[in-house]
């Protein structure tokens, strides 16, 4: 009798609409490798919470995302932590607890166009203003400072003539939805 391996438990931290969470829910739906065990939001009105509930995934809304004890309690049992549109800085004690098993996705080619305050539309405005010929998505390990951890993988996208921050954001988001599930499954295979 082959022993059924327990799937790697993934916790996802969110703050917004949750399209990256949705890409993970879809990709892990029938995966034997990993499952999304909990979705944790820094905001009670995050659309990501509805997506989790529709998928039958337990959810937690943080009362105070700045309280490491509360965040650690919500992450109890997680073997891999994914920040997917999570807008809060992760406290050093949470990074220490999950070092090497906590990742973030950023909508630009880090180390450029990252750091505190660089999120959402501002990122794409800065990329276009720089005259860059390409942008893309980055998945990296989370450290104590925003967007500073080792890069795990990137997917580049072309910048087209006439691109606006919105058209670029949409193209990068499609890359994110391909990149994040691939990286999560690769890391989960190493943990399993
Ligand atoms: C994505 O662009 C992600 O790279 C950034 O925040 C956005 C989240 O979007 N961290 P969603 O909530 O996953 O739709």
Of 83, 148, 142, the closest CA to residue 112 belongs to 148
Mean pLDDT (the chain) is 96
CB of 41 closer than 6 angstroms to any ligand 1 atom = no
CB of 171 closer than 6 angstroms to any ligand 1 atom = no
In a domain, 161, yes or no: no
In a domain, 122, yes or no: no
Would you call 106 a catalytic residue per the annotation? Answer: yes
Q: Please report the pLDDT score of residue 3 as a whole number.
A: 55
In a domain, 127, yes or no: no
Rg (CA), the chain: 16
CB of 16 closer than 6 angstroms to any ligand 1 atom = yes
Mean pLDDT calculated for residue range 45-72: 98
The CATH number that applies at residue 145 is: 3.40.50.170
In a domain, 26, yes or no: yes
Give the domain extent around 74.
8-105+138-153+176-191
pLDDT single digits (tens) 98-137: 999 999 999 999 999 999 889 999 999 999 999 999 999 9
In a domain, 19, yes or no: yes
Split at pLDDT 50, 70, 90, the class of 4 is low
Which two tokens mark 29? 């739906």
* Furthest C-alpha separation in the chain: 60
Alpha-carbon gap, residue 70 to 102, rounded angstroms: 17
Q: Please report the pLDDT score of residue 88 as a whole number.
A: 93
In a domain, 53, yes or no: yes
pTM of the model: 0.96
Q: Please report the pLDDT score of residue 5 as a whole number.
A: 76
Alpha-carbon gap, residue 137 to 153, rounded angstroms: 8
- Which residue's entry shows tokens 């450029």? 112
């Amino acid at each position: 009798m082959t022993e059924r391996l327990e799937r790697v438990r993934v916790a996802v931290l969110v703050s917004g609409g949750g399209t990256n969470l949705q890409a993970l829910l879809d990709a892990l739906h029938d995966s034997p490798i990993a499952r999304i065990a909990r979705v944790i939001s820094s905001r009670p009105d995050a659309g990501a919470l509805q997506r989790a509930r529709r998928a039958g995934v337990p959810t937690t809304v943080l009362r105070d995302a700045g309280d490491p004890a509360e965040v650690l309690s919500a992450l109890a049992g997680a073997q891999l932590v994914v920040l997917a549109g999570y807008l809060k800085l992760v406290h050093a004690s949470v990074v220490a607890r999950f070092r090497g098993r906590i990742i973030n996705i950023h909508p630009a080619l880090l180390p450029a166009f990252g750091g505190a305050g660089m999120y959402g539309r501002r990122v794409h405005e800065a990329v276009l203003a720089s005259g860059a010929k390409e942008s893309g998505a980055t998945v990296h390990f989370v450290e104590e400072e925003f967007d500073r951890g080792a890069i795990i993988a990137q997917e580049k996208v072309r910048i087209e003539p006439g691109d606006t921050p919105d058209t670029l954001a949409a193209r990068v988001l499609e890359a994110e939805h391909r990149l994040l599930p691939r990286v999560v499954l690769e890391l989960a295979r190493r943990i399993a």
